[in-house]
């Protein structure tokens, strides 16, 4: 009796409560979970920075020394952002975590919004959700609200941990400023979520959308780098989203006015994203390319030619980014070098064997950034290799008389050539930049510095190919993760003490800061050899495994 009563209580169809907000609920679940997880990462970084500061530098004299060393060091501030009041826990904490979290947050923002807005669409799931439920601009707006919730979650966890940490008697952060600090830390994630939303509408695929987002991030970083390099270009900070975050100066000298820029930028881009959605078809880009084209068969004779043709736009994009950054670095070298002269950075470099001028010291630091770019070029080559397989297009080649070894070997060689070209061009264009300012650094050492940043790239490329051969589905995560990890170690290690075993895992740690010191060719050879070994292992593994799509 009871059983039948229960049965009749169930409606014949389980109706969706409000089909119109389905997309919001699906996206919000994913986005908020991700926001909470990253909030925990932010919180841990903040708490560990504050607590390690009070334990490593317990005395005021040590803290004053720190302020003297880094507070007005323009080379360091060009890389890691300006440092204010490093003699206080709050000032040091801001300095130590801001740049790292600003970049990580931006990358998180780009990846999350392109995944939810573009990845779902590429996979064809968006079509199912949108069909008959709602209009596409509304769907985009729903995802944007979900992304907003994700940043709120990120902010809430960060704020909570900061406030709790601040209650420690040795730290002492007040609640209001702590909340503002959390806002500053979340701001770059917020803005780049919006950037990702717009590029998701402009690009034809998620990969392309992420690349566009990364370019915006790179340009923002470079502009604020110029502003912070002490060349009298402070006003440039107002032209960069990352610059606005720096202007906020939580704890030390709060400037909430910059929040207006941040809010305006985010809201403007969000509106633009919703608007652009309405202008394009599902699965295509806003700037629709022509559907007909004249056949250009030049490169289509063999698989390697095809790869060259497919990768051409992205290779050109990366090379342009490297060349512009190198030019910029060379351009500010003289001014920045004058500031460094006699500072702690120069002393540290002198201990490593540097005998040269201030400009050389500055370039030694700045080539690290170029090395990171080149490593990203390498990572991008690896993910493109995996992309051919995961998209199922590789089947069409491997099912024909193309050997797996020659295909992957060719792609690896192509990647290595691009990495090498990027390094050499970095050296050449840094020299051109220096030359334009009569900076007094000659071509030879800068070309060597360019060659010097190639081995870390080759190492990343080879290790990436190894992962591709052995665990193809992890390729993208592993290779970008490793470059990001290396960068993080290098940034954190550059400021405070980090265990040397951990430092050793960073591919950039083994690279000598040329041209400030002469390149360590042995280390370079070892890195290149590791890359070769990785590529060999990858080739070997690829020969004997199934082709695996998504």
Partner 1 sequence: MLKNEVAVATHRLTKRYGSIDALADLDLEIAAGEIFGYLGPNGAGKTTTIRLLLGLARPTEGSATVFGMDCWSDAVEVHRRVSYVPGDVNLWPSLTGFETLSLLGNVQGRVDVDYRDDLIARFGLDVSKKVRAYSKGNRQKVVLIAALMSRPDLLVLDEPTAGLDPLMEQEFRRCVHEAKARGQTIFLSSHILSEVEALCDRVAILRDGRLVEVGTLSEMRHLSSVTVEVTVAGDVPDLSQVEGVTAVQVAGQRIHCQVQGSIDPLLRALSAVPVTSLLSREPSLEELFLALYGEDRGERRAS
Residues forming contacts to partner 1 in the complex (CB under 8 A) are 204, 284, 289-297, 300-303, 306, 310, 391-393, 395-403, 544-547, 549
Closer residue to partner 1 in complex, CB, 395/504: 395
Q: Which is nearer to partner 1, 205 or 229 (CB)?
A: 205
Least CB distance from residue 341 to partner 1, whole Å?
Answer: 51
Closest CB 384 distance from partner 1, rounded Å? 12
Residue closer to partner 1 by CB (options 233, 397) is 397
| Angle, CA 307 vertex, CA 304 and CA 310 arms, to 5° | 155
Burial category of 20 from C-beta neighbours within 10 Å (exposed 0-12, middle 13-18, buried 19 and up): middle
Taking the complex as a whole, the smallest distance from the CB of residue 399 to partner 1 amounts, in Å, to 4
Query: Token pair of 337, please?
Result: 């070098």
Distance of alpha carbon 182 from alpha carbon 258, whole angstroms: 15
How far is CA 132 from its chain centroid? Answer: 37
Closest approach of partner 1 to the CB of residue 478, in Å: 22
Total Cβ atoms within 10 A of residue 373: 20
Q: Among 483, 452, 463, 468, which residue's Cα sits nearest to residue 534?
A: 463
Where residue 251 falls (left for φ over 0; alpha for ψ -120 to 50; beta otherwise) is left
**Which residue, 205 or 361, has its beta carbon nearer to partner 1?**
205
Q: Which tokens in the block code for residue 241?
A: 């989203």
Residue 60 vs 291, nearer CB to partner 1: 291
Q: Which is nearer to partner 1, 125 or 545 (CB)?
A: 545
From the CB of 319, what's the least distance to partner 1, in Å?
A: 20
207 vs 510, beta carbon nearer partner 1: 207
531: which 2 tokens?
């890359």
The minimum distance between CB 548 and partner 1, in angstroms, equals 9
**What is d(CA 481, CA 475) in angstroms, rounded to the nearest whole number?**
10
Residue 389 beta carbon to partner 1: minimum distance, rounded to whole angstroms: 10
The residue among 8 and 291 lying less far from partner 1, judged by its C-beta, is 291
How many angstroms separate the CA atoms of 515 and 127, rounded? Answer: 53
Q: Please answer whether residues 375 and 341 qualify as being in contact, where contact means their C-beta atoms are separated by less than 8 angstroms.
A: no
Nearest distance in Å: CB 203, partner 1: 13
Count of beta carbons in the 10 Å neighbourhood of residue 7: 8
**Shortest Cβ 204–partner 1 spacing (Å):** 8
Question: Helices 475-495 & 454-470, crossing angle to 10 degrees?
Answer: 140
- Chain centre distance of CA 334: 28
Cα–chain center distance at 241: 15
Instruction: Indicate the burial class of 509 (C-beta count within 10 angstroms; 0-12, 13-18, 19 or more).
Output: middle
Angle at which helix 206-228 crosses helix 241-248, to 10 degrees, equals 50
CB 429 within 8 Å of CB 323 = yes
Shortest reach from residue 200's CB to partner 1, in Å: 17
Q: What is the dihedral of CA 53, 58, 64, 69, to 10 degrees?
A: -50
Between the CA of residue 36 and those of 26, 246, 272, what are the distances in Å? 16, 24, 27
Q: Give least dist CB 291 to partner 1, A.
A: 4
CB nearer to partner 1: pick between 137 and 391? 391
* Closer residue to partner 1 (CB): 205 or 266: 205
Q: Are 131 and 88 in contact (CB under 8 A)?
A: no
Give first-to-last CA distance, the chain, whole Å. Answer: 50
Nearer to partner 1, 169 or 291 (CB): 291
Q: Compare residues 403 and 436 and give the one whose CB is closer to partner 1.
A: 403
In terms of Cα–Cα distance, which of 106, 96, 100, 102 is closest to 47? 96
Least separation in angstroms between residue 549's CB and partner 1 is 8
């Amino acid at each position: 009796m009871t059983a039948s009563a229960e049965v009749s209580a169930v409606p014949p169809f389980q109706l969706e409560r409000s089909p119109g907000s389905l997309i919001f609920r699906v996206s919000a679940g994913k986005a908020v979970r991700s926001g909470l997880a990253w909030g925990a990462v932010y919180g841990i970084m903040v708490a560990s920075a504050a607590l390690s500061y009070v334990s490593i530098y317990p005395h005021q004299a040590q803290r004053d020394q720190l302020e003297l060393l880094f507070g007005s060091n323009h080379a360091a501030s060009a890389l890691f952002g300006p440092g204010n009041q490093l003699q206080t826990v709050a000032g040091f904490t801001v300095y130590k975590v801001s740049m790292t979290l600003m970049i990580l947050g931006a990358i998180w923002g780009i990846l999350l919004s392109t995944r939810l807005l573009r990845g779902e669409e590429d996979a064809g799931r968006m079509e199912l959700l949108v069909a008959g439920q709602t209009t596409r601009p509304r769907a985009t707006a729903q995802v944007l609200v979900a992304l907003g919730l994700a940043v709120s979650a990120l902010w809430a966890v960060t704020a909570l941990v900061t406030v709790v940490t601040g209650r420690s008697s040795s730290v002492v952060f007040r609640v209001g400023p702590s909340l503002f600090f959390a806002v500053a830390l979340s701001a770059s994630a917020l803005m780049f979520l919006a950037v990702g939303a717009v590029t998701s509408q402009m690009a034809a695929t998620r990969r392309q959308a992420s690349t566009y987002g990364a370019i915006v991030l790179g340009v923002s970083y470079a502009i604020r780098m110029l502003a912070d390099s002490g060349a009298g270009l402070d006003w440039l900070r107002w032209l960069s989203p990352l610059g606005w975050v720096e202007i906020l100066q939580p704890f030390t000298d709060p400037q909430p006015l910059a929040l207006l820029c941040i809010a305006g930028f985010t809201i403007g881009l969000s509106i633009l994203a919703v608007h652009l959605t309405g202008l394009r078809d599902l699965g295509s880009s806003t700037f629709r390319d022509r559907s007909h084209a004249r056949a250009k068969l030049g490169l289509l004779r063999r698989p390697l030619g095809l790869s060259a043709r497919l990768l051409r736009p992205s290779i050109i994009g990366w090379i342009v980014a490297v060349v512009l950054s190198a030019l910029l670095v060379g351009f500010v070298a003289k001014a920045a070098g004058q500031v460094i002269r006699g500072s702690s950075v120069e002393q540290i470099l002198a201990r490593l064997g540097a005998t040269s001028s201030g400009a050389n010291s500055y370039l030694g630091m700045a080539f690290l950034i170029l090395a990171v770019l080149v490593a990203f070029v390498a990572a991008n080559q690896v993910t493109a290799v995996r992309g051919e397989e995961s998209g199922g297009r590789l089947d069409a080649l491997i099912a024909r008389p193309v050997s797996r070894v020659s295909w992957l070997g060719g792609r690896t060689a192509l990647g290595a050539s691009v990495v090498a070209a990027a390094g050499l061009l970095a050296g050449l264009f840094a020299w051109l930049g220096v030359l334009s300012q009569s900076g007094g650094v000659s071509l030879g050492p800068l070309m060597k510095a360019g060659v010097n940043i190639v081995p870390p790239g080759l190492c990343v490329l080879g290790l990436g190919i190894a992962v591709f051969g052995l665990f193809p589905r992890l390729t993208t995560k592993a290779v970008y993760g490793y470059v990001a990890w290396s960068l993080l170690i290098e940034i954190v290690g550059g400021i405070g003490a980090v265990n040397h075993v951990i430092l050793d895992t960073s591919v950039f740690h083994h690279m000598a800061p040329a041209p400030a010191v002469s390149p360590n060719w042995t280390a370079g050879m070892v890195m290149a050899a590791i890359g070769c070994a990785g590529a060999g292992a990858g080739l070997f593994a690829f020969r004997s495994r199934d082709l695996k799509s998504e």
